[in-house]
Structure 1
Amino acid sequence: MSGRINIIIPLFNDWQAVNLLLERIQSVVTASVVQRMAFLIVDDCSVTDYENLPIGIGQSLSILRLYRNVGHQKAIALGLSYLADQDEPQTTIVMDADGEDRPEDIEKLIQQSLSEPGRIVFAHRAKRHEALLFRASYQVYKWLFLLLTGKTITFGNFSLVPAGLLRKLAHVSSIWNNYPGGVIRSRLPYTAVPLERGRRLAGESKMNFVSLILHGLSAVSVLIDTTAVRLVLFSALMIAASVLGIGVVVYMKLFTETAVPGWASYLVASFLIVILQAFLISLLLVFIVLAYRTQVQFIPARQYRDFVERVELIY
């Protein structure tokens, strides 16, 4: 791997943290690697602005200013699309501004990419430092994602995109909703290397329980087709179980001398309600998927300019 290494850093108000992050990159990453780096901060329409930024780290530092706040995932998609639109795409690393994506792991991503060329390399979180409740909630999210989509997701945004895949990735509409989920749906080759999650360098995390739920829903929505099929199959199982239950009650009533309790009719009515609800849910899911497939997809590579106010070159 040779040439420039682009570093995309999506940011919302975390200017103090990004200062410390850039300084830490300079101190812990091999100098020859740092010299190849070109930093792109995607400013997600921050309320505050930087007072000063460190200069002379890597080849360049630019800020991609957005017209409005679009959220973390969309900011990543816009940064990838902007870089993919350059004359010659380069190897690109996506990392958060807060320092939880450890700078010392950048070279591990590069080494993994060298051993598995042509694959997007994600950081698999082998160890986390969040509160117990958050870690438990994140584990539940991973289980639900597996149950609903049949896919395993053990990684976040910290990743390396080879130069040859950058433009292809920027044309994947799903990364607009969720970057890791979009890569999974795209069927572009990817791998993951186990890395420890770092600690925030400054400020407080904006990811809370509600944010985690929204993030999880956005990841599942990327694979809506698979999720809908699995939910329809689950509804079919519920219908089959309800029909079986009604059959058992009717059989006991008509063909055996077993005393049938007086609430048997209520039980049959409950089974019928389950059947009706499962049928309506299945019908609704089918229409949602059909409507989704007929919609014009948002392609970040083609439409990213609508969100970019300006590019500010720091050095």
Structure 2
Amino acid sequence: MLLMQQISSTVDPVLYGRFAFLVVDDCSDATLKQPTQSYVGQSLSILRLWRNVGHQKAIALGLAYLADQPDQYPTVVMDSDGEDLPADIAKLMEASTQQPNKIVFAHRSQRHEGVIFRFFYLIYKTIFRLLTGRIITFGNFSLIPPHQLQKLVHVSEIWNNYPGGVIRSRLSYMAIPIERGNRLAGNSKMNFVSLVLHGLSTISVLMDTTAVRIALFCVLATGVSLLGMAAVAYLHLFTNVDVPGWASFLVLSFFVVILQAFLISILLIFMVLSYRTQQHFMPANQYRDFIERVDSLPIVSTPAPVVSSAS
């Protein structure tokens, strides 16, 4: 539990003494064991899952478990690899004190990944903005007020993507600039395919908006194609300009674009209708199906903030 050791050594002792920890073990490390009492603040609970569901779903299950507890406290969501710096918890809490009704995210002001990763991440953010009309500059590291947690676990979209689900939920949120840390140990298991799937899952959460924007693009492409076909026909029928031999191929290409735009629009309509009629996974109601057991250390006194860490 390198993260807990780092938290205990960097967080103010008075603040650290108020922490209770919930570690979500999604079977990614079969050797995960309970640390000694000196590293767990007031308490430690380990949520053991039946199977590896991925870090986004693990976060949703952890939040649903916390929301189902009799006592509610501010919840900090952290990744357990150490890239979320424990010293920044105080910054999230300070921002939450100033804006108590908002979920506070950590906006990554500086990243330590390689040039290639940052290049593709910039492409992802650009595509996300074009398709959704939103700007996303934050990840999982966040603080959730107690009353917002109850609402958030009834948002089915956090099952696919936690930050995207918050955006879709229309709950109040904000982001503050916080630098990203370095991994405590090992290398990230996230490869290029995983990154693409993660980006697509974020975009899919805002499917309605994305579908409308793609449909508008199809309408625009159809309009441009019709204008192109009209221009070629006008030149051929009403002017003395010699239309070159590739004009017929150009008209055919415009027609293919129109046909593709029509088919894409039809496909989008069926996808959105199907999405709206499906029964979606609700973390607040169904999280127990994924929990094998909960290992807990005794709570020595009443905790305040709760730190949820998805491993």
State TM-score, norm by structure 1. 0.92
Distance 1:21 1:69 in 2: 21
1:238 has 2:224 as partner = no
Partner of 1:123, secondary structure, is: strand
Among 76, 88, 93, the alignment partner of 1:105 is 88
- Could you say which residue in structure 2 is the equivalent of 1:309? 292
Partner of 2:109, secondary structure, is: strand
- Could you say which residue in structure 1 is the equivalent of 2:140? 157
Trace 1:217-256 onto structure 2 (pairs within 5 A): 217-256=200-239
Query: For structure 1, which segment, 186-195 or 53-62, has the greater mean C-alpha deviation from structure 2 after superposition?
Result: 53-62
Paired AA for residue 40 in structure 1: L
Distance 1:62 1:38 in 2: 8
Paired AA for residue 151 in structure 2: K
Higher RCO, 1 or 2 (CA under 8 Å, sep at least 6)?
A: 2
Distance 1:274 1:215 in 2: 30
1:89 has 2:57 as partner = no
1:54 has 2:58 as partner = no
Q: CA RMSD in A?
A: 1.0
1:37 has 2:34 as partner = no
1:300 has 2:283 as partner = yes
Partner of 2:104, secondary structure, is: strand
1:214 has 2:197 as partner = yes
Query: For structure 1, which segment, 237-246 or 41-50, has the greater mean C-alpha deviation from structure 2 after superposition?
Result: 41-50
Among 156, 160, 174, the alignment partner of 2:157 is 174
Distance 1:218 1:51 in 2: 31
Aligned partners of 1:138 and 1:212 also within 8 Å: no
Partner of 2:79, secondary structure, is: coil
Partner of 2:258, secondary structure, is: helix
- Could you say which residue in structure 1 is the equivalent of 2:8? 26
1:65 has 2:48 as partner = yes
Unmatched segments (≥5 aa) in structure 1 = 1-18
- Could you say which residue in structure 2 is the equivalent of 1:288? 271
Distance 1:127 1:108 in 2: 16
1:266 has 2:255 as partner = no
Distance 2:205 2:49 in 1: 24
- Could you say which residue in structure 1 is the equivalent of 2:177? 194
- Could you say which residue in structure 1 is the equivalent of 2:98? 115
The alpha carbon displacement at 1:62 in A equals: 1.0
The alpha carbon displacement at 1:54 in A equals: 3.5
Partner of 2:196, secondary structure, is: helix
Paired AA for residue 218 in structure 1: S
Aligned partners of 1:22 and 1:54 also within 8 Å: no
Aligned partners of 1:119 and 1:161 also within 8 Å: yes
Partner of 2:37, secondary structure, is: coil
Distance 2:33 2:67 in 1: 30
Identity %: 63
Distance 2:248 2:36 in 1: 75
State TM-score, norm by structure 2. 0.94
- Could you say which residue in structure 2 is the equivalent of 1:14? none
Distance 2:33 2:5 in 1: 15
